[in-house]
């Protein structure tokens, strides 16, 4: 399975003015069908699993979701798949060699000899994200739609936040909250200071990983601005426990690449799913 080249985009017609993005992870699925003419979300859904699934169980869930939601009833000019997992490593572009992909991963995550490894270039910020995609999901999507684009969740998240982050001198911590998963991104002056992905089972786990991340960067919890977004609202258990330890805490309402506000349907539209379009 190889990525679709950017210069081979399908010629648009009256019928295929929709774009589709699908995010897959062992803890849940989400998708978005975007109407490029009306500049609006035509269909979206987010599904959380009660317990972590295997990649093949996730594929079965995805098949059922595609049928239930009528995703195949649309024609698409673009299809994007986002792989959300912890099997990744960010590499400075100056140190990147595409012949050494396994070496970038083996010291950070557990990989198998037969794992397929890919990489995304975050060219605007001189970084490369090396990761292991869900190959069975890619093969299934190819059977349905033909050539498509795929990337890692971290690529979309980091690129989108860096693209909208201000040049403020003080660092800001962004935390993307999902169903039992969290992504912590710390930015300062259009530079990435830190990015990591964690799996949590309780609010205590959540605050532990967040405080641990801030401690690694020697950031003061009484000064650092921390913005939570995704599956989170003020008054939630996770928000409340974070508020006990972090003084400058707020809910962040981002916009995707389409310019659509995430506030309009926070329960069904995932930030990375919309930002990938």
How would you class 245 by CB atoms within 10 Å of its CB: exposed for 0-12, middle for 13-18, buried for 19 or more? middle
- Looking at residue 256, its pLDDT comes to 55
Q: Looking at residue 174, what DSSP letter applies? A: E
**Contact indicator for 26, 53 with CB cutoff of 8 Å:** yes
pLDDT digits (tens, 9 = 90+) for 181-208: 999 999 998 889 999 999 999 999 999 9
Domains of the chain: 6-87+114-158+267-275 (3.30.420.250), 166-253 (3.30.420.260)
Q: What is the pLDDT, as a whole number, of residue 137?
A: 97
What are the angstrom distances between the C-alpha of 140 and each of 4, 23, 39, 168? Answer: 15, 14, 28, 43
Using one digit for the tens of pLDDT, what is the confidence trace for 218-274? Answer: 999 999 999 999 999 999 999 999 999 999 999 998 765 555 544 444 455 788 998
In contact, 32 and 65? CB cutoff 8 Å: no
| Model confidence band, residue 116 (pLDDT cutoffs 50, 70, 90) | very high
pTM exceeding the 0.85 threshold for the entire prediction: yes
Quick check: 161 and 139 in contact, CB under 8 A? no
Q: Where are the beta strands (DSSP E) in the chain?
A: 18-25, 28-35, 40-48, 76-84, 88-92, 118-122, 127-131, 149-152, 172-177, 181-188, 191-199, 225-230, 248-251
Tokens 């962004």 correspond to 174
Task: Look up residue 193 and give its two tokens.
Answer: 């200071």
Three-class DSSP category at 44: strand
């Amino acid at each position: 399975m190889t990525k679709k080249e950017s210069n081979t985009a399908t010629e648009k017609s009256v019928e295929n003015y929709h774009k589709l993005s699908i995010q897959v992870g062992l803890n849940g699925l989400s998708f978005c069908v975007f109407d490029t003419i009306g500049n609006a979300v035509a269909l979206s859904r987010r599904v959380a699993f009660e317990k972590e699934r295997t990649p093949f169980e996730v594929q079965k869930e995805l098949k059922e979701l595609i049928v239930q939601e009528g995703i195949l009833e649309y024609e698409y000019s673009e299809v994007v798949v986002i792989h959300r997992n912890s099997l990744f490593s960010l590499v400075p572009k100056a140190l990147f060699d595409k012949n050494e992909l396994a070496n970038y991963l083996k010291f950070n995550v557990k990989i198998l000899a037969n794992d397929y490894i890919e990489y995304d270039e975050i060219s605007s910020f001189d970084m490369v994200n090396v990761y292991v995609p869900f190959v069975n999901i890619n093969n299934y999507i190819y059977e349905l739609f033909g050539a498509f684009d795929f990337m890692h969740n971290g690529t979309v998240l980091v690129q989108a936040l860096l693209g909208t982050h201000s040049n403020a001198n003080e660092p800001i911590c962004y935390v993307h909250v999902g169903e039992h998963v969290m992504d912590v991104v710390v930015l300062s002056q259009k530079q990435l200071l830190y990015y990591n992905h964690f799996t949590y089972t309780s609010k205590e786990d959540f605050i532990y990983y967040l405080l641990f991340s801030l401690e690694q960067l020697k950031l003061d919890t009484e000064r650092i601005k921390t913005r939570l977004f995704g599956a989170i609202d003020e008054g939630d258990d996770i928000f409340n426990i974070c508020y006990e330890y972090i003084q400058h805490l707020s809910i962040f309402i981002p916009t995707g690449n389409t310019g659509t506000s995430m506030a309009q349907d926070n329960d069904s539209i995932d930030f990375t799913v919309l930002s990938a379009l």
